[in-house]
Amino acid sequence: MQPGSPEADWREDCAPRRVLALFATKWTSMVLHTLHARHAGRARTGALLRSLPGISKKMLTQTLREMEDSGLLTREVQSVVPPAVEYALTALGRRFVEPVEMLYAWGRDNADALDAIGSRPTARRG
C-alpha cells in the first residue's frame, strides 16, 4: 500500500488487514510454527501444550478452535480409549507457515534489534 494508491487498497477488508486479523493473537503464529517445525504438521493436544511454554490449556483450545474455523487446521478425534484429538495443518495452513517461518527467522537473525526495543510493560520476560 504505497502513498497515493487506490482507496480500495486501504479498505477495512483489504488483504493486509485480513492477514493481520488472523494473527491478532500471538498464539496463532506460534501454533503454526510449532506444528510445522516440531511436529511435521500434525500433533495431539498434549504434545502442543508441552511444546508451547506459557500457553494455558484454555488458550490453546480457544486458539485451535479459531484456527480450525479459519480453515488452517483440521481436528480429528481418534477412536481410542481415552479419546485422543489430533490437529493437522490443512493445505491453507501450510501456505500460512511460509510467512510465519520468514518472520521467525528474521526475529532470530535480528535479536539485537529486538533487544534494543526493550521489554513491553505487559511482557512476562524481564
Amino acid occupying residue 44: R
Is pLDDT above 90 for 124? Answer: no
Q: What are 91-113's pLDDT values in tens digits?
A: 999 999 999 999 999 999 999 99
Q: Do residues 89 and 42 lie in contact, with contact meaning Cβ atoms separated by under 8 Å?
A: yes
Q: Do residues 77 and 87 lie in contact, with contact meaning Cβ atoms separated by under 8 Å?
A: no
The predicted pLDDT at position 123 comes to: 56
Please state, in angstroms and rounded to a whole number, the distance separating the CA atoms of residues 11 and 43. 37
Nine-digit cell at 53? 511454554
5 or 53: whose pLDDT is higher?
Answer: 53
Q: Do residues 61 and 14 lie in contact, with contact meaning Cβ atoms separated by under 8 Å?
A: no
Q: Is 112 left (phi over 0), alpha (psi -120 to 50) or beta?
A: alpha
pTM: 0.80
The predicted pLDDT at position 122 comes to: 59
The predicted pLDDT at position 4 comes to: 61
